Structure 1
Amino acid sequence: MIHTSTASLTHSAEQAQQWVSELARDLGWNERNAYRFLKSVLHTLRDWLSPEEMADLSAQLPTLIRGVYFEGWKPSDAPVSERKKRDFVISVRDSFGYEPGVDIDTAIKAVFKLLDRHISHGEIVQVRNSMKTSLRHLWPEG
């Protein structure tokens, strides 16, 4: 039993590391900043989805990434219905912090492409369709 749990934990850590490494490579960043940015986008996305869609997406995340996704989540904070792309970008930037030379739109697209590679197509379509049209442009259909 302990061996299985340890193997599962090791596998989960490897998956999380793979996601962060892929994002770092895609953005040309170091892994520390890639992790921070992934976390910022996941938190903003989580807070913008309906509870049902948020839960559906989380079910497909690797265990450790799912932990990052839910970190700091307050279920009592209901999603705001009127949201614009600008508000999403500002939320990500506020969470990530200002970094000179970082194109936030491009970096958000890189996170969405990472999710496209690792999450089922059906779930990605549901998440995209739940977003305002202006925000969908950051998550191009793959």
Structure 2
Amino acid sequence: MTINTFTQAAQQAQHWVNELADDLNWREPRAYHLLRCVLHTLRDWLPLEEMTDLSAQLPVLIRGIYFENWKPKATPVRNRGKEHFISRVKDAFPDDQSINAEQAVVAVFSLLDRHISQGEIVQVRNSLKKAMRDLWPTN
């Protein structure tokens, strides 16, 4: 891997964060924190095979964030309902009472929908419970 490759990877990750920040009209550090939290939560909700299939389509630095602090023996989590997903995201913002966690999750799912192949998105959506699937945008 060359320095140019690192630079390109950083630019691609920054583009995702900027895009999410623009979608939500948030500042970049807050958007990064949200992206990280939703990716970790999604990772922990998906079956192992689907979790790794999704990771293969993430940009290299985003993939690193996705796997950060992953505990394979603890995933997928037992209770994978929508309420718990939303709660986990809201809990990641303890000092921010203004966050609409469901809207924030939808924004991250929309970002993934724009950047990941539709075939993979369909597989990810189908791996989730119906209430969770309702958070994903449909084309």
Please report the TM-score for the alignment, with normalisation by the length of structure 1: 0.93
Shift in Å, 1:98: 4.3
Shift of 1:74: 0.8
Indicate conservation of the 8 Å contact 2:113/2:137, yes or no.
Answer: no
For the residue of structure 1 that corresponds to 2:107, the secondary structure is: helix
Q: Distance in 1 between matches of 2:13 and 2:48?
A: 23
**2:109 alignment partner AA:** F
Aligned length: 139
Give the Cα–Cα distance (whole angstroms) in 1 for the partners of residues 54 and 70 of structure 2.
15
1:141 aligned residue = 138
Please, what TM-score do these two structures have when normalized by structure 2? Answer: 0.95
Counting aligned pairs with the same residue, the percent is 57
C-alpha distance after superposition, 1:75-107 (max 9, x if no partner)? 111313442110110111123434122111111
TM superposition outliers: structure 1 runs of 4+ over 6 Å: none
1:24 has 2:21 as partner:
yes
Find the aligned partners of 2:125 and 2:89 in 1 and give their Cα distance: 17
* Matched-pair contact (CA < 8 Å) for 2:90–2:99: no
Q: Does 1:61 align with 2:58?
A: yes
Query: 5 Å matches for 1:44-123?
Result: 44-123=41-120
Once residues 34 and 8 of structure 1 are traced to their aligned partners in structure 2, the CA distance between those partners, rounded to angstroms, is: 24
Letter in 2 for 1:85: K
Matched, 1:10 2:7: yes
Instruction: Provide the secondary structure at the position in 2 that maps to 1:76.
Output: helix
**Cα RMSD over matched residues?**
1.2
